Amino acid sequence: MPKNTRKIESGIETDFSDKMSYGSYLALDTLLASQQPVSKPEHHDEMLFIIQHQTSELWLKLMLHELRAVRRQLAQDNLRAAMKGVARIKHIQRSLTEQWSVLATLTPSEYAQFRGDLGSASGFQSYQYRAVEFMLGNKNAGMLKVFEANPAAQSMLAETLAQSSIYDEFLALLARRGFAVPAELLERDVTKAHVFNAELVQLFRVVYEAPDEHWDLYEACEELVDLEDNFQLWRFRHVHTVKRIIGMKTGTGGSSGVGFLQRALELTFFPELFAVRTEIGQ
């Protein structure tokens, strides 16, 4: 055997006629056949565009899987297990954010060759992304209308809209620990976005000013701040990647494009966890 060839060990499986293989376990035939460029003639860079977005949807699927588990663990007072889930989500976020650097290699002239073939398709229509925002607390019932043509997606989003967010569950856990969480937050309409509450800032101040006494809660607060920081970084990279590729053009889905995306940077999931920083040390 040539020196630069690795010998296949005798114990390695090579016959998969009646056994599960790597490809069958991962359904690779289906997965790898799902990249179907629509440009004609097919433009080389459309494959990048498709894989970028399909990969993002896979990561979003995993993020939703983890967020649902985090919500369950918080409801069961398993704070440490919930934070383990948050730690994994943070790594998923890092992968999602880094992917923008790949799409940013698409130049304006390259994208222009197939952008018109996308029709009205837009990332704005990602129902998994909307579900992630709902689970983090950015509820918006008006988004359900976008998915009327996809009943399964609309049903999943409606169910997620009606459920508590992970912030709702964290506040409920704090209340069970004996903290004076305002009643209106514990009894609120969870189909609406969380609104800043000044009383909650003072509650978090208690946690932050005595970290040794409330270490697990103190740590959990910082984990949630990390989660929001990462999400905002993803939004920021999204805005600048879009700006780099299409400038100030209108989005394919009908939005104003960059301007619309920039306004998302003003949204926050856990406002009191940021506001409390002004209070510390005063």
pLDDT tens readout for residues 183-224: 999 999 999 999 999 999 999 999 999 999 999 999 999 999
Tokens 């040539």 identify what position? Answer: 2
- Does pLDDT of 253 surpass 90? no
Asked whether residue 252 is marked as a ligand-binding residue, the answer is yes
Asked, for residue 25, whether it belongs to a domain, the answer is: no
Residue 256: pLDDT band with limits 50, 70, 90: low
Asked, for residue 222, whether it belongs to a domain, the answer is: yes
Asked whether residue 53 is marked as a ligand-binding residue, the answer is yes
Asked, for residue 72, whether it belongs to a domain, the answer is: yes
Mean pLDDT confidence for 239-260: 76
Report if pTM > 0.85.
yes
Asked, for residue 14, whether it belongs to a domain, the answer is: no
* Number of independent structural domains in the chain: 1
How far, in Å, CA of 262 to CA of 227, rounded?
Answer: 19
Considering only CA atoms, which of 97, 55, 54, 90 is closest in space to residue 70?
90
How far, in Å, CA of 160 to CA of 14, rounded?
Answer: 45
How far, in Å, CA of 67 to CA of 51, rounded?
Answer: 24
20: tokens are 């599960």
Higher pLDDT, 281 or 67: 67
Q: Which residues contact 185 (CB under 8 A, 6 or more apart)?
A: 168, 171, 194, 197, 200
Asked, for residue 242, whether it belongs to a domain, the answer is: yes
Q: What is the CATH number of the domain that holds 149?
A: 1.20.58.480
Show the domain range for 153.
45-113+127-278
* Identity of the residue numbered 190: V
Higher pLDDT, 266 or 227: 227
Asked whether residue 246 is marked as a ligand-binding residue, the answer is no
127: tokens are 């129902």
DSSP 3-state of 248: coil
Using CA atoms, how far residue 255 sits from 77, 117, 138, 258, 280, in Å, is 41, 17, 19, 9, 40
Query: Above pLDDT 90, what percent of the chain?
Result: 77
R_g of the chain, CA atoms, integer Å: 23
Residue 11: pLDDT band with limits 50, 70, 90: confident
Asked whether residue 43 is marked as a ligand-binding residue, the answer is no
Q: What is the pLDDT of residue 270?
A: 97
Summary mean pLDDT of the chain:
92
- Does pLDDT of 177 surpass 90? yes
- Does pLDDT of 254 surpass 70? no
Residue 1: pLDDT band with limits 50, 70, 90: low
How far, in Å, CA of 154 to CA of 158, rounded?
Answer: 6
Q: Which residues contact 223 (CB under 8 A, 6 or more apart)?
A: 83, 86, 87, 90
Asked, for residue 30, whether it belongs to a domain, the answer is: no
Residue 267: pLDDT band with limits 50, 70, 90: confident
Asked whether residue 245 is marked as a ligand-binding residue, the answer is no
How far, in Å, CA of 197 to CA of 185, rounded?
Answer: 8
Neighbours of 198 (CB within 10 A): 9
Asked, for residue 118, whether it belongs to a domain, the answer is: no
Q: What is the pLDDT of residue 15?
A: 81
Question: 3-7, 144-148, 167-171, 232-236: which has the highest mean pLDDT?
Answer: 167-171
How far, in Å, CA of 27 to CA of 34, rounded?
Answer: 11
Asked whether residue 52 is marked as a ligand-binding residue, the answer is yes
Q: Which residues contact 51 (CB under 8 A, 6 or more apart)?
A: 35
140: tokens are 């918006």
- Does pLDDT of 255 surpass 80? no
Asked whether residue 50 is marked as a ligand-binding residue, the answer is yes
Q: What is the pLDDT of residue 252?
A: 67
Asked, for residue 6, whether it belongs to a domain, the answer is: no
Which ranges of the chain would DSSP assign to H, the alpha helix? 22-25, 28-32, 46-75, 79-98, 100-103, 108-112, 127-136, 151-161, 166-176, 183-186, 198-209, 215-246, 258-264, 271-279
207: tokens are 């946690």
Residue 258 half-sphere exposure toward CB, CA atoms < 13 A: 12
How far, in Å, CA of 177 to CA of 37, rounded?
Answer: 54
Q: What is the pLDDT of residue 167?
A: 98
